[in-house]
Amino acid sequence: MDAVEIEEMFASLGHVQIKRMFGGKGIYCEGAIIAIDLFGEVMLKADEMSSPAFAEAGGRQWVYQREGKSPVAMPYWTIPETAYDDPDEMAHWVRLANDAGQRAGVAKPKKPKRGARERSLDDITP
């Protein structure tokens, strides 16, 4: 999906940010990841509160499989097919994803690598 299509899909939330990640795109609202666009398909974030609604509506959970490893169920679900034809229904599902993303929290800044130190202006010699 291109950025314009994604922005239209999430229009009910206002502004979303789209960032490249994992060969796909991460979709963020208010600093929290709420969806991914991976393998040409947008999948919405869900949690223990919202996953049952996605399952009941016929959504499919993304399961990550690496060779030689056990499959890992990821917290992303496909969008129910009926939502693509109904903007109000799409708004419902993206709000659920936003709620799950906000409950999970905003991504925290990465910690500096061990041994790295902060530099101040005093450390710089002219």
Domain boundaries of the chain, sorted by first residue:
3-107
pLDDT digits (tens, 9 = 90+) for 71-126: 999 999 999 999 999 999 999 999 999 999 999 986 555 566 666 555 444 545 44
What are the contacts of 1-8 at 24+ separation with CB within 8 A? 1/37, 1/40, 1/42, 6/37, 6/42
User: For position 110, what pLDDT does the model report?
Assistant: 58
DSSP 3-state assignment of 38?
Answer: strand
DSSP 3-state assignment of 114?
Answer: coil
User: For position 115, what pLDDT does the model report?
Assistant: 61
At the top level of CATH, the class of 3-107 is alpha beta
Structure pTM?
0.79
